[in-house]
A = this chain, B = another copy of it.
Amino acid sequence: FSSLTPVFIAIICVLIGVIMKKTNGEKEKRDTKSKHPSRPWVDEDLKDGTDHPLEEEEGDEEWQGLDENVAHVPFTGERYSEAEMIKRSQTFYELLNKRRSVRFLSDEPVPREVIDNVIRTAGTSPSGAHTEPWTFVVVQDPDLKHKIREIVEEEEEINYKKRMGDRWVNDLKRLRTNWIKEYLDTAPYLILIFKQVYGRLPNGKKKTHYYNEISVSIACGILLAALQV
């Protein structure tokens, strides 16, 4: 089990916080345009914010201004024997099964290169129309980490006391969690994960990020796997 445990638990919390925060903004936007007739599926696909920034943008003929003539990279698949596949899948399961969502963390330093590799790995994740709607921010500075902790704790306290409701708080009791997040100070790094609800084209126009919430969450899964490895 790697010493990355501290980092990845911090990630989960920050991730959830960030996603919560960002979707909040979108909600308000969505509320203001709910008069449009409902289209099945697509309205739902857009509920993660895919739709809201698009007023500003025109329907370009080419792919939102990006070059369509990308070089074709031939795909070559390497194959393992059946016995090898079974062995690899079993070993990987055993490794990932050691992960725990702990709330106590080690302050042991981790090489920055490892964090970079892990984020690079998360960046290989698939995403809606290959828009890669994620931003990873690594925080190492103790003061900045502490400020982030203060913001998170302040919001989390309001969550527990007001926003989540009795049942939710009750459900969490069993996990013995609360709004105090000491580990945000302890962890050598915090990886903040931001969901980009839209991008920018070279011409300054907004670029749609389809399925951005699902895409970012899948990338987080791959990030967790990379941390565990």
A residues neighboring B (CB under 8 Å): 1-5, 12, 16, 19-21, 23-24, 26-27, 31, 34, 38-45, 47, 54, 57, 59-61, 63-64, 66, 68, 70, 75-80, 82, 85-86, 88-90, 92-93, 96-102, 106, 108, 110-111, 113-114, 117-118, 120-121, 124-126, 128-130, 155, 159, 162-168, 170-175, 208, 210-211, 213-214, 217-226, 229
Contact = CB atoms under 8 A, between A and B. Distances in A.
Contacts of A42: 159, 163-165, 168
Contacts of A118: 89, 93
A122 to B, nearest CB: 8
A12 to B, nearest CB: 6
A40 B63 CA distance: 36
Contacts of A175: 129-130
Contacts of A110: 82, 85
A183 to B, nearest CB: 13
Counting chain B CB atoms within 10 Å of each CB, the highest count among A20, A44, A102, A128 belongs to: A44
| This chain: copies in complex | 2
Nearest to A30: B47
Contacts of A3: 77, 79-80, 85
Give the interface centre of A70, A96, A97, A210 by most chain B CB atoms within 10 Å.
A96
Given A77-B1, A117-B92, A213-B214, A41 B159 contact: yes
Given A3-B80, A41-B155, 11 more contacts: A2-B77, A27-B47, A31-B38, A63-B173, A82-B114, A89-B114, A92-B225, A93-B121, A93-B124, A96-B124, A97-B124
